[in-house]
């Protein structure tokens, strides 16, 4: 006779309770939330059942971006809790970024009761239709006795390599109806290994003597696979590169470095000139961010061959290790770090900020970078900083940085998070500061305040236009200047303004030693 | 011989220029914008061609909500300018509200070049898929020589009664390619009048002696049709009501009043008890906002007959006038206003705020109300204020209020806008304050600071739960308290805090006399 585990103690569960218990059984113990009326039974269940850490965001873009940052650092998914279709819509931009980062997220969206939906009450919207383009898996729960199984399937789908957003839509009656059944975790769908043939084939391409580019992405950017990629490069003269934007790169002193494809199409084409073959390791073929009249959208030579060593859903670390072995490539030492330099002084430039970051970045910091135009020197200039992880805006939907910092800080509370944040982008999800204050997260926010959409002024010049008044009305975000110290204070985060490199270094060193968040408005 | 109007002066246009000229020819002369790289040719065209007022929002939810507020007051559409799929996504919640308000909006969304889309660059997303659920019309422009015609079709579609969101997706190459053709405006699609039979039928229902409810929505809530509805009510004893939330109601001293269906299902059922027939005038059948276990989602008696006088897309004012005539209903005088009362003193209550609003609301003010739980007394309590328009959150997607205020202030710069804004909801689109400062809009923002999601604490109690720590972590937005005066200052808006009715009255009177915006944080 089968025993219903939820009723072993003679106790019955409603759907919401079975959902919470199933999530906990599957190892999902953190929920970033902005609930509404239709989620009240779920909130009540979270309240009754211990074990789930709930973190409130004052806007859904904070919630979804935090879930992204959490899983990038925790290597397991958090749950979200969003309110109906429009609540999901507010979180879509950062779910788009999470999709591009291949981040596992169990994306829970409350909805009207099943029988209420056809009545088209004001909040009713096409929740499934909005969720599907960012999701690897989408399901609307139908019955209280199945929602536990739905949750287990969502966790499995989110974690299936390479990872993605699993959206579970939760009608309110499915939550409040009795008969909930706790589901056991489903077996993880591990990344399949590439075939021996694929390794041999790749070894032949690499031995061909053709100028070769190895494009690394996803989990290939962790410490061990990067070391194996460097064995391959040293043995074959292949060049290593990553896409412009990556979910997480392990880097700093004592680790192997890897360059990125430049954002500018012209610079990218110059860098990749002469390449005859491109081997993809969990990466798509390089492409420019946008199209420009008369310019190729592919930054590599048109007649280069494109090969695949491993697709994103395959085991990238294993493939690189086996390929290095197949090539008989010996281990190579990490290049010596450059001589340490002190903090920069004087005027605020991108290079000066990189130098100070290099000098002061705490050991095992998590750097969240959404620096857009000003940050051009940050990545190359911090190669020899203390070991750290570097998290980026992966999908181009600005407003990811501050939420990513929230999520990363919740995931790894023993590490300092440093958010390098452009001002225009930071305004998209400025509400993140409040969650940092509420949860007393160890985040140092550096707002790069140029008071304009600088990247767009560059792009406008690129189309051959000198900005007139109307264009400036749309690209210049001064008048009035944003005062980030006041904005932070309005949400309970202490802050200060730096106008030169000396004051920046003092504030940055002080901020990183504090408990809780601190914001530095760096006027650039 | 046909002349291409765009080439009369021997000048050629690109697609973007033909689009701007077509919009201007169609009477669309205001654009709420948050552009990105793929829209730079459109920005350059706006810059070169005079006549379009461009208003920047620092987040797309501000942009779309402002376009909604603009059209509600201007009775014609503005254009938006949004950046790619994720930029649209950020604006969807307020487009959802606009859809429920039946607001005409020409919703322009930039996108990847047609040939770049298949390459799946990081920002590429399902723009059409996200736009369609909020739109009455969706089209992706394909060629520069057709985008003018696309724009004219979008304006026509947006303005077709009752009004809606027309989404035009604009690949960047369609903008920069030469050969743009300016299109002439298409004839407006006016609201069809209801048939004589429908009028006669409705007159028979009303003469039946059955307890009857006339549900008015949309354009039936302007001054003249409301007067005609009151003629009908006086002649037949029918009761008048509107949905809980409406796009725009003309009201105040010297105008006819109309009650709303209460938000609470229990209160709504009590109010509509005994009704035998419901006649719809541009409104859907009443429905509760959410479902609750064991309660009917319809607030009227189950056996009441539902009749339709006019569908939303028909001419509601004409239908009411003809029905009143068919009933031989004489004109009725507007009831005398209650004796004027002064401003309230002492503790801050919903009723006290309503009294002070009644006393101090400027003539022809535009009230934007997103007061959620605290505002229960505002609508009934301001019946005898100076004549004004009352704009509401129509789709339940919070974060509409401040953007609506921006748009209304741009549309009717000679009228004072008063935004009655709950704090939790206000944080969703707090960036609106910056646009108010930049454009020096005459808006008085009253933030109702209860520092919690009060409506949700009520809903949680409604499901029989006493909030524990986890629930409070998700429903209490104090800890830390938001400081709205600092938030406003951070975006260039002056503000002050009121803690009793005396200080509120002083600040409110002062703020309404100023040029430009002012924010009052009313601690409740």
Residue of B nearest to A396 (CA): B123
Place of tokens 């006399």: B513
Give me the residues paired with residue B82 across strands. Answer: B109
Predicted confidence at residue A239, as pLDDT, reads 97
Nearest to A395 among B122, B132, B481 (CB): B122
Per-residue pLDDT of B289-333, as tens digits, reads 999 999 999 999 999 999 999 999 999 999 999 999 999 999 999
DSSP state of B239: E
Q: Which residues of B touch A402 (CB under 8 A)?
A: none
> Does A380 touch chain B if contact means CB atoms closer than 8 Å?
no
Predicted confidence at residue A454, as pLDDT, reads 80
Residues recorded for chain A:
524
Residue of A nearest to B88 (CA): A93
Residues of chain B with pLDDT under 50: 1-8
Domain boundaries, chain B: 5-176, 196-326, 350-523
Q: What is the fold of A12-176?
A: Rossmann fold (3.40.50)
Predicted confidence at residue B339, as pLDDT, reads 75
Predicted confidence at residue A276, as pLDDT, reads 97
The alpha carbon of residue A465 is apart from the nearest alpha carbon of chain B, in Å, by 6
Q: Are B323 and B309 in contact (CB under 8 A)?
A: yes
> Does A225 touch chain B if contact means CB atoms closer than 8 Å?
no
Residue of B nearest to A394 (CA): B122
User: Per the structure block, which two tokens stand in for A322?
Assistant: 């086996």
Q: Which residues of B touch A92 (CB under 8 A)?
A: 86, 89-90, 92, 130
Predicted confidence at residue A479, as pLDDT, reads 85
Q: Which residues of A touch B100 (CB under 8 A)?
A: 122
Three-state SS for B94-122 is HHHHHHHHCCCEEEEEEECCCCCHHHCCC
- Strands B53-56 and B30-33 come out as parallel
Nearest to A96 among B48, B55, B89 (CB): B89
Select from B425, B473, B521 the residue whose CB has the most chain A CBs within 10 Å, as the one to mutate to test that interface. Answer: B473
Q: Which CATH superfamily is domain A350-523 in?
A: Thiamin diphosphate (ThDP)-binding fold, Pyr/PP domains (3.40.50.970)
Q: Which residues of A touch B41 (CB under 8 A)?
A: 463
Predicted confidence at residue B4, as pLDDT, reads 43
Query: Are A196-326 and A350-523 in the same CATH fold?
Result: yes
Q: Cβ separation of A290 and B172 shorter than 8 Å?
A: yes
Nearest to B456 among A36, A427, A430 (CB): A36
Q: Which CATH number is B5-176 given?
A: 3.40.50.970
CB count within 10 Å of CB B34 equals 26
Residue of B nearest to A113 (CA): B291
Predicted confidence at residue A1, as pLDDT, reads 34
Nearest to A490 among B48, B133, B486 (CB): B486
Predicted confidence at residue A9, as pLDDT, reads 53
ipTM of the complex: 0.96
Residue of B nearest to A53 (CA): B470
Predicted confidence at residue A324, as pLDDT, reads 98
User: Per the structure block, which two tokens stand in for B40?
Assistant: 């730079």
Q: Are A117 and A171 in contact (CB under 8 A)?
A: yes
Residues of chain A with pLDDT under 70: 1-10
For the full predicted model, state whether its pTM sits above 0.95.
Answer: yes
> Which is nearest to A450 in space by CA: A522, A370, A378?
A522
> Which is nearest to B330 in space by CA: B238, B249, B230?
B230
Number of H helices, E strands in chain A: 20, 17
Nearest to B297 among A116, A130, A484 (CB): A116
Residue of A nearest to B427 (CA): A58
Q: Cβ separation of B473 and A56 shorter than 8 Å?
A: yes
Report DSSP letters for B373-393, one per residue: TGGGGHHHHTTTSSSEEEEE-
Nearest to A86 among B59, B284, B395 (CB): B395
Q: Are A490 and B521 in contact (CB under 8 A)?
A: no
Q: Which CATH number is A196-326 given?
A: 3.40.50.1220
CB pairs under 8 A between A and B: 317
Torsion over CA: A396, A402, A405, A406 (sign): negative
- CA atoms of B173 and B140, how far apart (whole Å): 12
Place of tokens 């009655």: B420
Q: Which residues of B touch A471 (CB under 8 A)?
A: 43-44, 46-47
> Does A103 touch chain B if contact means CB atoms closer than 8 Å?
no
Q: Which residues of B touch A475 (CB under 8 A)?
A: 35, 43
- CA atoms of B79 and B104, how far apart (whole Å): 9
> Does A70 touch chain B if contact means CB atoms closer than 8 Å?
no
């Amino acid at each position: 006779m089968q025993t219903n585990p939820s009723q072993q103690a003679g106790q019955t569960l409603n759907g919401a309770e079975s959902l919470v218990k199933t999530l906990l059984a599957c190892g999902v113990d953190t929920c970033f939330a902005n609930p509404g009326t239709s989620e009240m039974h779920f909130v009540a269940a979270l309240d009754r059942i211990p074990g789930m850490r709930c973190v409130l965001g004052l806007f859904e873009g904070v919630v979804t971006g935090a879930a992204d940052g959490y899983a990038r650092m925790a290597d397991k998914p958090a749950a979200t809790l969003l309110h109906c279709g429009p609540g999901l819509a507010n979180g879509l931009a950062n779910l788009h970024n999470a999709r591009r980062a291949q981040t596992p997220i169990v994306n829970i969206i409350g909805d009207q009761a099943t029988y209420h939906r056809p009545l088209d009450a004001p909040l009713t919207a096409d929740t499934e239709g909005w969720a599907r383009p960012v999701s690897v898996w989408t399901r609307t729960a139908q019955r209280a006795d199945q929602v536990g199984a739905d949750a287990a399937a969502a966790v499995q789908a989110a974690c299936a390599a390479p990872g993605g957003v699993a959206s579970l839509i939760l009608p309110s009656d499915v939550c409040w109806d009795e008969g909930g059944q706790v589901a056991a975790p489903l077996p993880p769908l591990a990344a399949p290994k590439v075939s021996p043939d694929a390794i041999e084939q790749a070894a032949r391409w690499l031995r061909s003597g053709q100028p070769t580019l190895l494009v690394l992405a996803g989990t290939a950017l962790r410490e061990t696979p990067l070391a194996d990629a460097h064995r391959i490069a040293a043995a074959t003269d292949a060049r290593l590169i990553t896409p412009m934007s990556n979910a997480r790169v392990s880097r700093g002193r004592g680790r192997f470095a890897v360059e990125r494809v430049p954002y500018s199409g012209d610079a990218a084409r110059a860098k990749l000139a002469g390449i005859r073959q491109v081997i993809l390791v969990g990466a798509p073929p390089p492409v420019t961010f946008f199209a420009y009249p008369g310019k190729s959208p592919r930054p590599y030579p048109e007649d280069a061959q494109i090969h695949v060593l491993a697709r994103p859903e395959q085991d990238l670390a294993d493939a690189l290790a086996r390929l290095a072995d197949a090539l008989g490539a010996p281990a190579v030492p990490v290049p010596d770090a450059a001589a340490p330099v002190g903090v920069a002084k004087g005027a605020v430039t991108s290079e000066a900020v990189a130098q100070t970051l290099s000098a002061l970045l705490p050991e095992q910091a998590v750097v969240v970078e959404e620096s857009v135009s000003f940050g051009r020197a940050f990545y190359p200039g911090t190669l020899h900083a203390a070991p750290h992880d570097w998290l980026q805006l992966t999908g181009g939907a600005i407003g990811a940085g501050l939420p990513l910092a929230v999520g990363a800080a919740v995931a790894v509370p023993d590490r300092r998070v440093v958010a390098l944040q452009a001002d225009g982008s930071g305004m998209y999800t400025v509400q993140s500061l409040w969650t940092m204050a509420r949860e007393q997260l160890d985040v140092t926010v550096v707002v790069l305040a140029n008071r304009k959409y600088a990247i767009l002024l560059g792009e406008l010049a690129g189309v051959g236009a000198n900005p007139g008044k109307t264009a400036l009305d749309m690209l210049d975000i001064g008048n009035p200047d944003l005062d980030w110290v006041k904005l932070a204070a309005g949400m309970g985060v202490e802050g200060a303004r730096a106008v030169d490199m000396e004051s920046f270094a003092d504030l940055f060193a002080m901020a990183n030693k504090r408990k809780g968040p601190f914001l530095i408005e760096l006027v650039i």
